[in-house]
Amino acid sequence: MVTTQAEARPLWGIFWMLVTGLCFVAVTALVKYLGDDMPSAQAAFLRYLLGLVFLLPMLPGLRALALTPASLALFSLRGLVHGLGVILWFYAMTRIPLAEVTAMNYLSPIYVTLGAALFLGERLALRRVLAVLVAFLGMLIILRPGLREISSGHVAMIGTAILFAASYLLAKRMSGEVNASVVVGMLSIIVTLVLAPFAYAVWVPPTWEQIFWLFWVAAFATAGHYAMTLAFAAAPVTVTQPVTFLQLVWAVLLGALVFAEPADGFVILGGAVIMGSVAFITWREAVLRKRARRILVAP
């Protein structure tokens, strides 16, 4: 049977989202491998500084960019928010298992949903409210407050998810004003500048081995974001979103096989609950968009 292009695009979307997940798991594995020998702020700064080499093809477009004061303020605010989130993420990676970092990171879309309702005026229907509550139940299953100690790494991951959600909302606010590649490029540059004073305050001389592995962290992160862009271009989010949940599977396996982190059934269950909530919200948004398009094209 000959596969048509229309049939192949969802398959390519799934493929590129698989590549995305593997790249991001590689990022977490390398950061975990580096451990806490280097302060989190410095490791985050070097990751972004080394990653600037991948922005070289964007330089002509960035140089020609004429930013308004309002756009520059939004870029700066997003860079500050994202930079703080990156520091917290690097810190959490040195304090809690890979699976817990991955599972709690799935809360970002939930915070995006809340933020869109609070700050962008989007309607929050009852179904979405219930999905958000289910996601928070998943977080409680992971953290199990009162049954075990909640570490600073868990608190850092909650902050990370909130800050990354805020970064996404700011990107969404800017998406109608400038090209997507400009948004990505400006984020990398401003986050590097934001992280510089934090890194300077805790600076320790890095080894060449640490620089080598942080370069690969930057490379895999860049490749992951590029693959995600290809996935979104090839297939609807409702097709690609469920594939991202495989990252939790990879993280559990990697933590157990490489870092001797025992698989925690509560983390897997809580992660599955959060993933189900995110999948439901994604599906509902796709249904509403399709319904809106039908109304627009109706005679």
pLDDT tens digit string along 98-156?
Answer: 889 988 988 888 888 888 888 777 777 788 888 888 988 989 998 888 777 889 999 99
CA dist 41 and 55 (Å) reads 21
pLDDT tens figures, 209-241: 999 999 999 999 888 888 887 887 777 766 776
Mean pLDDT of 179-208: 88
> Greater confidence, 292 or 129?
129
Q: Is residue 229 part of a domain?
A: yes
For residue 250, the enclosing domain spans 1-37+207-262
Q: Is residue 228 part of a domain?
A: yes
pLDDT of residue 294: 56
Q: State percent of the chain over pLDDT 90.
A: 28
Q: Is residue 4 part of a domain?
A: yes
pLDDT of residue 282: 77
Q: Is residue 213 part of a domain?
A: yes
Phi/psi region, residue 260 (left: phi>0; alpha: psi -120 to 50; beta: rest), is: left
Q: Is residue 13 part of a domain?
A: yes
Q: Is residue 14 part of a domain?
A: yes
**Short-list 192, 160, 162, 173, CA closest to 74:** 173
How many domains is the chain built from? 1
Mean pLDDT, the chain, integer: 83
Q: Is residue 8 part of a domain?
A: yes
Mean pLDDT of 20-35: 89
Q: Is residue 32 part of a domain?
A: yes
Question: How many residues are there in the chain?
Answer: 299
